[in-house]
Chain A
Amino acid sequence: MNLLKNKAVQYTILAFVVALIPLLLDINRSTLTLWNMVIIYAIIAIGFNILLGYAGQISLGHAAFMGLGAYIAANLTGNLELPFLLSLVLSGLIPMVIGLILGLVALRLEGHYLAIATLGFGVAIQQVFKEWTAFTNGFSGVRADNPVIFGLEISEREHYFILGMIILLLLVLFAHYLLKSKTGRALLAMRDSEHAAQAMGVSLFKYKLIAFAASAFYAGIAGGLFMHLIRFTEPNAWGITLSLNLLAMVVIGGLATIGGSIIGAGFIVMVPEFIKDIEFLASIKSFATIFTGFAMIFVIMFFPHGIARIGTQIKIALLNRRNSRVDKGKGGAPNGRSKG
């Protein structure tokens, strides 16, 4: 029973149960494509949450890393004919190195300035995608094949969903353990108070770079998975819209939570689909975007810890109310504990 309380075990069980749903139920291909997209966005959102939620560093250019991952995956499996899994790892590792460079920039900039600089980075990389035709084939785009793992070709969406779920699970577990140990504490400490973090021995240099590198790695992996799912990409997919959607996922889902990143990804991918089915809303142009914007404002105002923490937030609010009553009953002395 105790094992079930372990978060890693919960994640694993949940992943396996959800991964099997498409095999048991008859779900059409386009819905399954969406489900796969949720997984892919969940991966990039977890990485982005390490950066924004834990390290407190903003980036408005992370679409570039995902795009980079996609193009690398296409080139490595297409032109170089590398095996899928090796190519997928590289489509994470190469953006990670570029993420380190962006991290170096972040060491010099804060807040608004960092947001502007990363926005510029995103725009610049997108431009590279448009111009560097040898790598990206420009606006004509590149194609990729179905992934082949140990001679097995994955062409069905159900199977791709299982593959994606396994990769998501591995990345979730890695992030979960990393964030609950030394690195996670150092990142949160850096976000809460840079001075105190430094005084405790946390190197801002090291941990800002780690945050950027990790988020770029997750983004690259997401890009690689996207490439083999959709099997086509062109430069317009990797612009500011995706970077802003990513921000919305993490804020709506919940900053500094892994579960929140996944919920946020689900929210941003699925909501436009639900809206499409409601006729009078679908007739309003770009209603999904408008809705996302309002959802973000609403969440920031009323649930600043995101959807994932609504339950906890209510519990804490109730607890505080009860405690303040108890304190009044005792007749004050809130510092009573301080006497050693």
Chain B
Amino acid sequence: MAVLKVDNLSISFGGLKAIDSLSFEVEEKAIYGLIGPNGAGKTTVFNCISRFYTPDEGDIIFNNDIDLQKYRVHDVVKVGLVRTFQNVELFKSMTVLENIIIGQHSNTKGGILAQGLYLPKVRKEEKRIREKALGIMDFLGIRGIEHYPVAGQPYGVMKLIEIGRALMTDPKLLLLDEPAAGMNSKETEALTDLIRRIRDEYDMTIVLVEHDMSLVMNACERICVINFGAKIAEGTPAEIQDHPGVQEAYLGEEASADA
């Protein structure tokens, strides 16, 4: 069953086609990679799926029957779709725990008056989401820093906090935008493990955009390669590595001249 179906997606910015009739499907519980050279349009695809952009053409169907284009950007999280950002977008003035707790925003009960009066149900909710967040921090191995401001954390930890915040939304589909950016090879290895563990233990589908080939080849089961907004190849990591079009796209004319 396809959890995410992108069909004939196109978007232009000022006459420049950023995505050109792109179609792909992501199966349930898959780890799916979206790769391509710089400026290929990978993040633009994410922005369309997560509703930051409205595509000119095409459909994005989530969970078989949810037409994502009918949802506003802050509503997609309610249907079970969440994303991270390329350059960590955390809430800098808040603590680590508060950052993660925000993930439950849509599921936190209690109106304005109830919150201002701090009624028992609000108290109970606060306790519930706090414990849930601490559980996620345990899972990510970042327990102990919950009351520190997020601003002073090392980059690798910030990336984990952002993933934690995404997990807090109870997603069915997690979109990771360059999770390995700025990490060394050892950290990337740990991240590969983590991505698999998230899929297995939280029972979700993961789509990731990534430049780091070791992560993509080790973690992903299927890969879609795009260049200039159009799909040039799709398949298993082994198939992609052998694909001539992919090598050309990455290495440019030099490679084709050598060949």
Contact = CB atoms under 8 A, between A and B. Distances in A.
Contact of A181 (B82, B115, B145): B115
Given A340-B141, A340-B190, A201 B74 contact: yes
B90 A196 contact: yes
Contact of A335 (B50, B82, B101, B156): B156
- Chain A interface size, as a band, is 20 to 34
B217 interface: no
B85 A196 contact: yes
Nearest to A320: B152
A174 B117 CA distance: 6
A210 interface: yes
A339 B159 CA distance: 12
A204 B108 CA distance: 17
Nearest to A178: B116
A198 interface: yes
Interface string B67-87: 000001111011000110100
B98 A185 contact: yes
Interface stretch (A82-90, A113-121, A157-165, A186-194): A186-194
Contacts of A202: 74, 102, 105
A185 B93 contact: no
Interface residues of B, number: 53
Given A177-B115, A177-B117, A204-B74, A340 B194 contact: yes
B91 A182 contact: no
Contacts of B98: 185, 188
Contact of B141 (A178, A193, A334, A338): A338
A195 B85 contact: yes
Contact of B94 (A8, A181, A188, A340): A188
A200 B167 CA distance: 11
A335 B106 CA distance: 31
B142 interface: yes
B258 interface: no
Interface in A172-225: 174-175, 177-178, 181-183, 185-186, 188-189, 191-193, 195-204, 210
Contact of A195 (B89, B115, B141, B187): B89
Given A182-B108, A340-B194, A340-B197, A192 B93 contact: yes
A182 B105 contact: yes
Interface of B: 50, 52, 72-75, 77-78, 82-83, 85, 89-94, 98, 101-103, 105-106, 108, 110, 112, 115-118, 122, 125-126, 139-142, 144-145, 152, 154-157, 159-160, 165, 169, 187, 190, 193-194, 197
Interface of A: 8, 174-175, 177-178, 181-183, 185-186, 188-189, 191-193, 195-204, 210, 256, 320, 334-335, 337-340
